[in-house]
Amino acid sequence: MIRSRFGTFRGLVRLALSYPQLMLGRSASRAPDPAQVRRLVFVCQGNICRSAFADVAGRRAGLNTASFGLSTTTGRAAHEPAIMAARALGHDLSDHKAIDMQDYAPQDGDLLLAMEVRQLHRLAADARLAGLPRVLLGRWTRPIVPHLHDPYGLDDRYMATCLRRIERAIDGLVSAFPGARLS
């Protein structure tokens, strides 16, 4: 059950720790003004599973999106198990190319949506990105899942679980940020 729902025991522990961090204001979030948000930028570690999928699913839902990884190689393809899991959900990741944080070009109206609290802290510590609003994507899942554990190299069942959670979060973002909708 842990492998299919949380990826690993560490994923379960990080999820449990993320709730109090979020509630006590220790997540390094910087709340957006929904009226100012024009683009949703998904962030994860490698930009080959979670943020790549969120980017594709967001565009399919009619949103202006982008994505990048905190530690990746620009141009890297999506992870094959993520491509297959996305396909099963009706999304195509086969053309995705990763973007490293250093190659990401911020724009006015960007909202950074991270998968983990520690990623929010990394974004807050980067002088170039510290001023941008940033929150956890998992705030828009139902129920709220503030830690979306990295599925890279884990059980295929967890990859599917993780991507389904992200897909549900995208549904919430559509109504929360109307200014990010593509015309």
User: d(Cα 30, Cα 120) in Å, to the nearest integer?
Assistant: 9
Q: What is the mean pLDDT of the chain?
A: 95
Q: What is the pLDDT of residues 52-70, one digit of tens each?
A: 999 999 999 999 999 999 9
User: d(Cα 53, Cα 50) in Å, to the nearest integer?
Assistant: 5
Check: CB of residue 168 under 8 Å from CB of residue 61. no
Look at residue 5 in the predicted model and tell me its pLDDT.
87
What the block records as the tokens of 114 is 């991270």
Q: What is the dotted CATH code of the domain comprising 2-180?
A: 3.40.50.2300
| Torsion angles phi and psi, residue 70, rounded to 5 | -75, -25
Look at residue 183 in the predicted model and tell me its pLDDT.
73
Check: CB of residue 138 under 8 Å from CB of residue 169. yes
Confidence of residue 2 (pLDDT cuts 50, 70, 90): confident
| Cross-strand pairs, 66 | 41
Within a 10 A sphere around the Cβ of 75, how many other Cβ atoms?
A: 10
Check: CB of residue 72 under 8 Å from CB of residue 47. yes
Q: What is the largest CA-CA distance in the chain?
A: 43
Say whether 28 sits in a helix, a strand or coil. Answer: coil
Check: CB of residue 92 under 8 Å from CB of residue 136. no
Percent of the chain with pLDDT over 90: 91
Find the Cα–Cα–Cα–Cα dihedral 159, 96, 76, 153, rounded to 10°: 10
Cα 153 → chain centroid? 17
HSE-CB at 72 with a 13 A cutoff on CA atoms is 27
Check: CB of residue 56 under 8 Å from CB of residue 93. yes
